Amino acid sequence: MIKIFKTNGVLQIAIIVAAVVAIWIGSFVKPVEMAEDGLCGPVYRLIAMGLAGLPTVSTLVALLLTLTEGYLLNRLLYKKGLIPLNTLMPLLMYVIVSGIGVRSCGMRPEVVANLWLMLALMSMMPKENMIMEEGRIFNTGLWCSMAVLTWIPSVYVLVPIAIGQITYKMYKGREWAVSLLGLMAPIIIVLTAMFMTDEIGETAEYAKTLASGLGVRYDGGGWSIAETAVLAVFAIATTVGTVTLLFGKTVVQRKHGMVFVSLLIFSVASMFYGNLMPVDGEPFAIVLATTGSIFLIEKKKRLWIYDIVIAAMFLTSLFL
């Protein structure tokens, strides 16, 4: 299958369509209400209010968001020179990884947060030989803030974003100040609106959850361990392979690649905000779709082994 994603565009689309149908069909047969828990931010709760009582519509919106995010990732990786033009591997990998988890394939805060994260990455990554505009720096902070206001564990995305700013030589205090302003603007507006509408209790609860931080928790059985093992094997193999390949790229490509790889910090840290298991794939989707695509598109030998790994991930997205 990997060979197909290096050559045949029509078959690529056919495989992606088949994967989407297989993974998401069950969610449309028995649609459920939008998932809400203590980790939802005020922006997601506002979206949930708008889609309340419309489980089929919310599931459709979640699918459209997933496909949009996969497409944006595919386009961004190509524009940064990390994958060739003729492959849709990132989109396929994004769909598969996003479908992993017992609570996946529906409207969840992680799905919306990933959109903000994609927009933040697109704002932060400069074009070659261009100095970052202050407007783009501000937007990076703004989109990160929207992610935090949607799904509270997204606060950890600030770590790889900060690494990215250092990677792109944003050393000046003015640049960090502009980024901080972008980060604070939506938070101040939303919390002020909640305060003015006499939702002080919800405001305090949001702040308390945001400050809870990392905590080792475990809630899962054998299937959760199997699910985690599949993600871990793929993550380790492709990340090590991608880092090795980046040494042969240009300086600019290495910078872009390492920013994507640093998203693993966000993905792993977010596991500990709620329960360590079961692990849902959405927080890992961007980074694993990236490392998987870069590594597998470049790899020449023993592709059948990775075909089996992808098949295992696909089956995991169907049954776990």
Domain extent, residue 269, equals: 4-319
pLDDT of residue 268 exceeding 70: yes
Q: How far apart are CA 143 and CA 115, in angstroms?
A: 9
216 vs 86, more confident: 86
8-state DSSP, 172:
S
Classify residue 29 by burial, with Cβ atoms within 10 Å: 0-12, 13-18, 19+: exposed
Please give the pLDDT value at position 221.
65
pLDDT per residue over 250-265, tens digit each?
Answer: 888 898 999 999 999 9
Please give the pLDDT value at position 304.
84
CA distance readout (Å), 282 to 62, 87, 100, 223: 12, 22, 8, 18
pLDDT per residue over 228-243, tens digit each?
Answer: 888 888 999 999 999 9
66 vs 233, more confident: 66
Please give the pLDDT value at position 219.
63
Q: Where are the alpha helices (DSSP H) in 153-214?
A: 158-167, 173-196, 200-210
Average pLDDT over every residue of 136-152: 92
103 vs 31, more confident: 31
Please give the pLDDT value at position 220.
63
Please give the pLDDT value at position 148.
92
pLDDT band at 74 (very low <50, low <70, confident <90, very high): very high
pLDDT per residue over 98-124, tens digit each?
Answer: 998 866 788 999 999 999 999 999 998
Nearest to 284 by CA among 40, 110, 164: 110
pLDDT of residue 41 exceeding 70: yes
Please give the pLDDT value at position 230.
84
The CB density around residue 285, as the number of other CB atoms within 10 Å, is 30
Q: Range with the lowest mean pLDDT among 63-77, 79-93, 223-237?
A: 223-237
Please give the pLDDT value at position 131.
58
Q: Where are the alpha helices (DSSP H) in 197-274?
A: 200-210, 222-246, 251-261, 263-271
Record the tokens describing residue 37, joined without a space.
Answer: 């828990």
Nearest to 101 by CA among 5, 272, 231: 231
Average pLDDT over every residue of 60-72: 96
pTM of the predicted protein model? 0.91
Contact 241, 295 (CB under 8 A): yes
Please give the pLDDT value at position 270.
87
Average pLDDT over every residue of 198-218: 68
Classify residue 252 by burial, with Cβ atoms within 10 Å: 0-12, 13-18, 19+: middle
Record the tokens describing residue 94, joined without a space.
Answer: 């994004």
Please give the pLDDT value at position 194.
72
Report how many domains make up the chain.
1
Element (H, E) at 66: helix 55-79
pLDDT per residue over 44-61, tens digit each?
Answer: 988 998 998 899 999 999
Average pLDDT over every residue of 198-220: 67
What is the rounded average pLDDT for all residues in the chain? 86
Residue type, 219: D
